[in-house]
Structure 1
Amino acid sequence: MAILEADSTMATSTAPDDVPTASGARRSARPRKAPLKYDEEYIIPSETPSAAKTLARPNRPKRAAAEVARKQIVPEQTASLQEQVFARMDIDERKEYRGWVELESEPAFFNAMLQDLDAKTLKVQEVFALDEMAFADLPKPVCGLIFLYEWTNEDESNEARQGCPENLWFGNQTTANACATVALMNIIMNVDAVKFGPELEEFRDKTKHLAPPHRGHALDTNDFIRAIHNSVARRNDLLSEDLLLDNKYEAASKREKPPAKKRKKTSSSSKRKYEPGTYHYIAFVPVNGQVWELDGLENMPLCLGTYAPDSTDAWLGVASEAIHKRMSRQNDEFLSFNLLAVCQSPLLTLSHNLATSLATAKALEDVANGHSSWDVTTPWKDFPSDRLARFNLTREQILAQFLPDDSRVRGANSDIAAARKLAEELRTEQEALEAQYFAETATVDEAVDMIRARQRDYTPAIHQWVRILAEKGVLRTLIQEMDSLG
């Protein structure tokens, strides 16, 4: 589970029959009802205390952790600790960190992760409604859905889960704060047609025959994937997570346990304890004609039904119905949701369409070139080798792997005017495909640049600047001026 504040949310209003309506989907900067806590992820203890459902005041675990640390730190050590905390962190230091930091619900971050994971033929796109129109606008095929929701006690259900079949890759969440990456991996590991980079291919090969808990452990201990997940973390983020977990462990170890004879057996679902503002990611994927719900906190996957494999959108209807049911179990109309789709990147489709258009233009040239009045330049003049390389194409690859559209070329030899018109249409088509390709590339680059900007840590510079101001007495003067105004 994750305590997150979604940048973009899909909220629902509740109809009289308590079924959320698709028209209620909206985009909002923050939930209308702010969660009481949004800065922690929980590993739920096996004992569930019978506490009140509402809290008198917000509980801030990190703030409590900071208070404990403040009491334990010796004043003489403060300067030294500040230098360590605010020092610049290098790449190796982030890779060596064994924990997982919190992630916000940001599509750009998922897209940057896919680029860093070398799964560049995939793309994450936000979905704002659960209807055919919203799904129709997604790039095809849609490989999976990532659903972010606020977990409540009402979320418990009695679905019959089953063992994980051999053709399904499902990994459990074995550590805190990893649910976003677990959901993403539970989708992309099931996309057989996608070729990954060497690190991710090695991970898939090593884990495809493991049980779900072992896959989750392999993900938790994979330095490559974990470092990408933690790529936007600063040192104080890592220290904050360590301090929080240390204090929670200390508090749990002091908790008095009831006598063994009075303890009752509980189901796996009853082990969860509701905490206000607890958000969690789960995945929905189509595999061999079946739609699966993959929740890393559940021991087993859940089969939602079947669909016609020959239809690229049929499985989305099954997943949409399941998401509606999950949302209807949460009776609070102010709860917020977020839905992301993992799709095949349009870049691949646009590149293939451009190659087909160029192959058709070359076939047209071959047919009409014998005509005395044919004066149209060869398509290779407009698309030389260096220009084709921007689309990951070569002239030899186009001629060998892509078939021309013969139906368009037919008759060009007998009607040179029609041939010239077709050549102009193909040139316009190629320019449009090129423009769409570069626009999509710019979108990907924008996402990556945004995350790269988040990775720049200005904390050391700010700390140095504030320290110089303090040494020169400027801060004391400012504080005195503020006190006088108060």
Structure 2
Amino acid sequence: MSGGWNTIESDAGVFTYLVDNLGVKNVQFEEMIALDADYLNQQSPVYGVIFLFKYPVGQKKADEAVDGQYDFAASENIFFANQTIQNACATQAILSVLLNRGDLDLGDQLREFKEFTQAFPAELRGEALSNSELIRGVHNSFARSSPFIDEGTRAATEDDDLYHFIAYTPINGILYEIDGLQPSPISHGKCTEEQFPEKVIPVLQRRIERYPATEIRFNLLAMVQDLRIRAAEIGDVETVAREDEKRKMWIWENELRRHNFVGFAHEVLKRAVASKLRDGKYDEWIDEAKQKAKDRMSERKKVRGEKEDIASP
């Protein structure tokens, strides 16, 4: 395989334009700020949800699922791929929803990928996904630019904060949890498309309850139909305009992710120093900066002293 996979953020704008760049039509993501079935139902049609959580490093795999039941037979009938490479789980979770829907326009290339891997076992599907230049290239185009390259690698320990993406989606009347690190899809019982918001929320709540009450680092994104479609159908001009503005912001934010501003800041500083040196004001500029720093420190000490006086009995 040529090239690796970079980490991407759990962000509605990132995921929306990721699937758009893969050729998928009329799909977007909405961030869920609360585990609320009514709110999720308002986004209908909901195709699935992508859940981000802290992965318990060192946890031993059990013969039985902690919640729900392994459905090994389903691996042959639905798209399920083992995760075979690091950092691919976000896109893999997204594809676990997309490639199990029969009502979405996937575009030519993703449809061909689905057909090509249809008869593959889960591990080989994972290898095919990891080696797809299209999917890897689109995925990496949304990674944050960083000037710092870590040349060393090591095995993760229990002290590391590692995060993992999984998908929940209704397939053939069953609510499935699809996690590439598990041996098969996990069934959470019968579930129609209409029941999905009500059925998935308790499953997510039980998953979160496995963690200490102090753990709040979770993120949930719903994969839904482009909200402008339904708004346009009912003549909701305000929603269409609001969604258009949101997409403009997403495009801007995604462009910022691609730029390395450390180099930009370094170049600005070099030019500023060169300008002061050229004008013979470099020492004056440094002395002025030092004095401002001293003034700020004195002001902070003064404020801190006043607070201590107020707090004294």
Could you say whether these structures have the same fold, taking a TM-score greater than 0.5 normalized by the shorter chain as the test? yes
Q: Does the 8 Å CA contact 2:54/2:217 hold for their aligned counterparts?
A: yes
The whole-number CA distance in structure 2 between the counterparts of 1:320 and 1:154 is 27
Structure 2 residue aligned with 1:437, among 217, 236, 240? 240
Which aligned pairs between 1:67-82 and structure 2 lie closer than 5 A? none
In structure 1, the partner of 2:11 is 106
Check 1:202–1:459 CA distance in 2 against 1; reply closer, same or farther (3 A cut).
farther
The correspondence for 2:167, drawn from 273, 276, 283, is: 283
Residue segments in structure 2 that go unaligned for 5+ positions in a row:
295-313
- Could you tell me which residue of structure 2 aligns to residue 326 of structure 1? 207
Please say if 1:152 is aligned against 2:53.
no
Task: Give the equivalent residue in structure 2 for 1:165.
Answer: 75
2-structure distance, mates of 1:439, 1:326: 34
* CA distance in structure 1 between the aligned counterparts of 2:201 and 2:29, rounded to whole angstroms: 17
CA distance in 2, matches of 1:296, 1:476: 58
* Compared CA separation, residues 328 and 240, structure 1 to 2 (3 A): same
Are positions 1:143 and 2:52 aligned together? no
Of 200, 223, 240, the residue aligned with 2:149 is 240
One-letter amino acid matched to 1:207:
T
Does the alignment pair 1:224 with 2:134?
A: yes
Give the 5 Å matches for 1:37-436.
98-138=3-43, 140-152=44-56, 158-159=64-65, 160-163=69-72, 164-233=74-143, 236=146, 240-241=149-150, 243=151, 247-248=152-153, 274-307=158-191, 309=192, 312-350=193-231, 353=233, 432-436=235-239
Counterpart residue type for residue 223 of structure 2: V
Deviation at 1:217, TM superposition (A): 1.7
* Alignment partner, residue 32 of structure 1: none
Q: Distance in 1 between matches of 2:128 and 2:143?
A: 22
Question: In structure 2, what residue type is equivalent to 1:182?
Answer: Q
Who is 2:254 aligned against? Answer: 451
Describe the shift of the 1:130–1:313 C-alpha distance in structure 2 as closer, same or farther (beyond 3 A).
Answer: farther
Cα gap change, 1:189 to 1:471, in 2 (>3 Å): same
- Larger-gyration structure (1/2): 1
Give the number of the structure with larger relative contact order, counting CA–CA contacts within 8 Å between residues 6 or more apart. 2
Kindly state the Cα deviation for residue 124 of structure 1 after the two structures are TM-superposed: 0.5
CA contact (8 A) 2:167 2:178 kept: yes
Distance 1:304 1:154 in 2: 25
Q: Structure 1: how far apart are the matches of 2:247 and 2:80? A: 28
Contact 1:150 1:335 in 2 (8 A): no
Give deviations 1:38-82, integer Å, cap 9, x for gaps. xxxxxxxxxxxxxxxxxxxxxxxxxxxxxxxxxxxxxxxxxxxxx
Aligned to 2:218, what secondary structure does the other structure show? strand
Deviation by residue 1:249-269 (Cα, 9 ceiling, x = unmatched): 5xx6xxxxxxxxxxxxxxxxx
1:137 to partner: Cα distance: 2.2
Mapped partners of 1:208, 1:297: distance in 2:
19
Task: Indicate conservation of the 8 Å contact 1:187/1:283, yes or no.
Answer: yes
CA contact under 8 A between 1:172 and 1:296: conserved in structure 2?
A: yes
Structure 1 residue 479 displacement after superposition: 6.5
Q: Which has the higher strand share?
A: 2
1-structure distance, mates of 2:119, 2:127: 14
User: Do 1:144 and 1:285's aligned partners in 2 also have CA atoms closer than 8 Å?
Assistant: yes
| TM-fit CA distance, 1:463 | 3.7
State the partner residue of 1:256. none
* TM-score, normalised with respect to structure 2: 0.77
Deviations 1:256-296 (A, max 9, x none): xxxxxxxxxxxxxxxx9533432221110110001111112
Contact 1:152 1:330 (8 Å CA) reproduced: no
On the 8 A contact 2:58/2:157 being kept in 1, the answer is no
C-alpha distance after superposition, 1:128-176 (max 9, x if no partner): 22233222321x2211111111233798764142324333111222222
Amino acid at match of 1:110: F
State how far apart, in whole Å, the 1-side matches of 2:82 and 2:205 are: 24
What secondary structure is seen at the aligned counterpart in 1 of 2:75? coil
- Distance in 2 of aligned mates of 1:221 and 1:453: 27
Shift of 1:219: 1.9
Contact 1:284 1:294 (C-alpha < 8 Å) held by counterparts: yes
Kindly provide the amino acid, as one letter, of the partner of residue 145 in structure 1: V
Q: In 2 relative to 1, CA 236–154 (structure 1 residues): closer, same or farther, beyond 3 Å? A: closer
Work out whether residues 147 and 337 of structure 1, in 8 Å CA contact, stay in contact via their aligned partners in 2: yes
Letter in 2 for 1:277: D
CA–CA distance in structure 1, aligned partners of residues 55 and 229 of structure 2: 37
Aligned length: 283
Cα deviation digits, residues 353-397 of structure 1 (max 9, x gap): 36xxxxxxxxxxxxxxxxxxxxxxxxxxxxxxxxxxxxxxxxxxx
The one-character-per-residue Cα deviations of 1:455-484 (angstroms, maximum 9, x if unpaired) are: 244454444333445667759856677678
Structure 1, residues 198-239: CA drift from partner, whole Å, max 9, x if none? 2222222222222222222222222222222222446645x6
Give the superposition deviation at 1:330. Answer: 1.1
CA distance in 2, matches of 1:333, 1:445: 36
RMSD of equivalent CA atoms? 3.2
Task: Report the TM-score when normalising by structure 1.
Answer: 0.52
- Show structure 1 runs of 5+ residues with no match: 1-95, 253-271, 355-431
